[in-house]
Structure 1
Amino acid sequence: MTGERTTTRRPTRESPPLRTADVARESGYSLQQVRDLERLGVIPPAVRSANGYRTYTPVHVQALRAYRGLASAAGPVVARRLLAELFSEPRTGRLADAAAAIGSLHVQLARERDEALHAQEALSKIQAETSLPDGDGADRHSADRHRTGGPSTDVMTITELAAALGVRTSTLRFWEQEGLAVPERVTTLRARQYGPAAVNEARIVAALRGSGYGIPAVREVISTLHGADGVEGIPEARRILDWRLEQIADRAVALLRAGADLAAVLDRVSPRPVT
């Protein structure tokens, strides 16, 4: 009947059933991990044989590969939640949902990469300023940090800076309490304002924190940037940021592979609407 929609599955060649041990060996997970991930809905449910044993297919191995890639790219918590949602009932429209979810993760990685690049630019500015003759760089750095005059296009509010860095305003306040990215203040309203030097420092702090460095380690790196010549900590900070960019690139590749594995799995297990 015209306009009537039914569902069908793409025909596939029958594959020999796999035991839990087979799936564990092929995926690199332990027997218990395979069972736990199935229980959590991270992979499609196995078929139970007459004697109660689990029976898997190559699709389950590929689903575990997708999970491994997603866990590498976005963390195991995000990966488990995303896959559990995709493999839950009702099983309709999931390929589009998967594409949207993978796309949002790519956007997040792109933002992290941009912030790391901005932090590198900030380091370059600090290095350029400190290399100016007769202490001009230090004077400019001090002026930028403590200017309390009229509005400037280079000044950002705490809300603007938080949005630019992808953090909460409470995070910026916490950094301020820890002596990191200290803002300027409008005396009358006590509203926080961040000049160019403070913005640069905040970008560096955000990138270091994103690399997994704790507050004491970040404070140590930043304190060297506030030293007499201001360049002592630049090589270490640049090394960390280079490693951060390599890490983001590895996660992006893992996400690409996970997306391909996930699409293949969903193409096998999801019903396809036909007219």
Structure 2
Amino acid sequence: MPNPQSTVRLRPIDLAREHGLSTQAVRNYEADGILPAAHRTPHGYRTYTPRHAQALRAFLALLPGHGHPTATSIMQAVHRADIAAALHFIDESHAQLLDDRRTLRAVEAALTDLAPAGPTRGDTFVGPLARRLGIRPATLRTWETAGVLRPTRDPHTGYRVYTEADIRDALLTHQLRRGGYLLDQIAPLIAQVRTAGGVAPLEATLHDWHTRLTTRSRALLTGAAALHTYLDQYSYVGGSAR
């Protein structure tokens, strides 16, 4: 049975004005499959319905939590009547958010474990540092190749020399590696510690990280609510909305 709202006709400007968009943006969204295909008048003008308006609301609500590519994929799947694929994209975003939360907890745990160690007793060489961490010297050299560590060289012997800051970075790297994190995931954090001049200044960064994760989590909920409303109002059967 057709939705009674489907008889209401809207112009591109009607959809655009609600969200401060241009009419070209609305047409682009339709062309990309974010909105269902518009009806055309005998003169070729696009006409939309409340279904299109609700689809646009759902897409714009999905954007902050999922980002443009995933939000687009979700709406395209919905308009193919492939709800399973749409939900798969949503699940992937939630899984990524959960992984980000786990990474944050691992970083916080590593920093906590690092703090009681206190200051080191000056510079050291690769052998003593490797023994302290319980790893092979070759592992320290691998970390250096990955850009995680930056030891200097003794001008007379050419041996690697690890300063107190290098030792701090090695301890933090060791903790994160034990947590299962890859070197390319660890390197940006170590760079931030190095730039900040130590662990303490990272408290503000970690707080901001928590805030951003919370904001994204709320955005995912908002997007899910808008998409649920759209799906609830316009059931997809056989590739078309009822």
Q: Given the two structures, how large is their TM-score scaled by the length of structure 1?
A: 0.62
* Structure 1 residues without counterparts, runs of 5 or longer: 1-9, 131-136, 159-172, 183-193, 211-217
What's the CA shift for 1:24? 0.6
Which residue of 55, 69, 86 corresponds with 1:98? 86
* Structure 2 residues without counterparts, runs of 5 or longer: 151-168
User: CA 1:151 to 1:222, structure 2 compared with 1: closer, same or farther past 3 Å?
Assistant: closer
Please list, as runs of the form range in 1=range in 2, the aligned pairs for 1:12-161 lying within 5 A after superposition.
12-15=3-6, 16-88=8-80, 91=81, 94-130=82-118, 137-138=119-120, 147-149=129-131
Distance 1:46 1:52 in 2: 11
Please list, as runs of the form range in 1=range in 2, the aligned pairs for 1:167-206 lying within 5 A after superposition.
176-177=144-145, 179-180=147-148, 197-200=172-175, 206=185
Who is 2:165 aligned against?
none
User: CA 1:99 to 1:201, structure 2 compared with 1: closer, same or farther past 3 Å?
Assistant: closer
Who is 1:255 aligned against?
220
Who is 2:229 aligned against?
264
Amino acid at match of 2:193: V
C-alpha distance after superposition, 1:158-202 (max 9, x if no partner):
9xxxxxxxxxxxxxx7x84463267xxxxxxxxxxx975313467
User: CA 1:266 to 1:150, structure 2 compared with 1: closer, same or farther past 3 Å?
Assistant: same
- Contact residue 208 and residue 241 of structure 1 kept, 8 A: no
Distance 1:146 1:80 in 2: 53
Distance 2:101 2:89 in 1: 19
Identity of aligned residues (%): 28
Distance 1:108 1:147 in 2: 35
- Structure 2 residue matching 1:22: 3-state secondary structure: helix
**Once superposed, what is the RMSD of the aligned Cα atoms?**
4.1
The count of corresponding residues between Structure 1 and Structure 2 is 213
C-alpha distance after superposition, 1:115-171 (max 9, x if no partner):
1122122222333322xxxxxx425x979996445996x99xx9xxxxxxxxxxxxx
Distance 1:269 1:145 in 2: 67
Distance 1:107 1:61 in 2: 29
User: CA 1:177 to 1:71, structure 2 compared with 1: closer, same or farther past 3 Å?
Assistant: farther
- Structure 1 residue matching 2:44: 3-state secondary structure: coil
Who is 2:194 aligned against?
222
Distance 2:40 2:113 in 1: 63
User: CA 1:241 to 1:34, structure 2 compared with 1: closer, same or farther past 3 Å?
Assistant: same
What's the CA shift for 1:35? 0.8
- Contact residue 116 and residue 207 of structure 1 kept, 8 A: no
Greater RCO (CA < 8 Å, at least 6 residues apart): 1
- Contact residue 70 and residue 254 of structure 1 kept, 8 A: yes
- Structure 2 residue matching 1:138: 3-state secondary structure: coil
Judge which range, 31-40 or 242-251, deviates more: 242-251
